[in-house]
Amino acid sequence: MVLKIMISPYLQNRSIPWLHNCKCSGFFLVADLPINKDVFHTANVLSSKWKRQEELMYIILYDILFGQEALLAGDAEKFLLQKKDVLQAALAKLLVRKKVKLVSDLTTSYKISDLPKPRYARVNTLKMDVESALLEFKKQYEVCQDAMVPGLLIFPPRTDLHDHPLVKSGSVFLQGKASSMVAVALGPKPRWEVIDACAAPGNKTVHVAALMKGNGKIIACELNKERVQRLKDTVKLAGATNVKVKHEDFLNMSPEDPAYSKTLM
């Protein structure tokens, strides 16, 4: 059984062993991206081959510099590990240049843009097609489609859609771009079996269900009792009939259980 991590299209076919067997340190913070860019710039270690896989390089660099190096098994990982000393030296130079002692201070020394961010909403294709949703919204709002996530609509900053009938009926979910990228990156197909390990409130669960066109099976696991109800409400609102909600600690689910033998997590 594999846990497939997909953070960008470059990572589409990368898998890591079942979570029980690994110390997953692969949380990549967007706030660290400028730091990683500067480290690469200073270290100057990327050939054009690796520059074409820039996003992957950022994630591996993050794991080398700040993580536990637990997932560093592939060619790209080996390549960067060989450059570890140069990369650490580049990070040290960056600390000096920015006049800070700690990496945490470095993060705050990079200014994050104060520009207002657009609002996103995802069309729930279990209930409505994207064209119809666009037509409806265009009566009232400036709206366009996101180029990366199919069915994700972009509205001007501060647009409030909470009371919109399409949102209340579950035809559209108010879901940010980062959250909406996860199911798309996974690319589930109808008839797949998928476990959502930490599912509530269920936005990604029902997005996966929509991409599977309501076919196949999704086990949505949630530890917290109150949030299980929230998850059930989301699943019901979305009309996702192929989702089975489980009130359970996913760490207690056995990867050896034949019930999960065909399951992606």
Ligand X SMILES: C[S@@+](CC[C@H](N)C(=O)[O-])C[C@H]1O[C@@H](n2cnc3c(N)ncnc32)[C@H](O)[C@@H]1O
Residues lying near ligand X in the complex (CB under 6 A) are found at: 179, 197-204, 221-224, 227, 249-251
Nearest residue (beta carbon) to ligand X:
198
Helix (H) or strand (E) holding 57: helix 54-66
Cβ proximity to ligand X, 98 vs 227, nearer residue = 227
Report the distance separating Cα 59 and Cα 238, nearest Å.
33
Cβ proximity to ligand X, 61 vs 231, nearer residue = 231
Residues contacting 164, CB < 8 A, separation 6+: 172
Residues contacting 184, CB < 8 A, separation 6+: 148, 149, 150, 207, 211
Cβ proximity to ligand X, 71 vs 221, nearer residue = 221
**Radius of gyration from C-alpha coordinates of the chain:** 21
Cβ proximity to ligand X, 5 vs 134, nearer residue = 5
Residue 196 C-beta: closest distance to ligand X, Å? 6
Residue 27 C-beta: closest distance to ligand X, Å? 12
| 222 annotated among ligand-binding-site residues | yes
Q: What is the CB-side half-sphere exposure of residue 262 using CA atoms within 13 A? A: 6
| 196 annotated among ligand-binding-site residues | no
Residue 71 C-beta: closest distance to ligand X, Å? 20
DSSP annotation of 111 reads: P
List binding-site positions. Answer: 198-204, 222, 249
List binding-site positions for S-adenosyl-L-methionine. Answer: 198-204, 222, 249
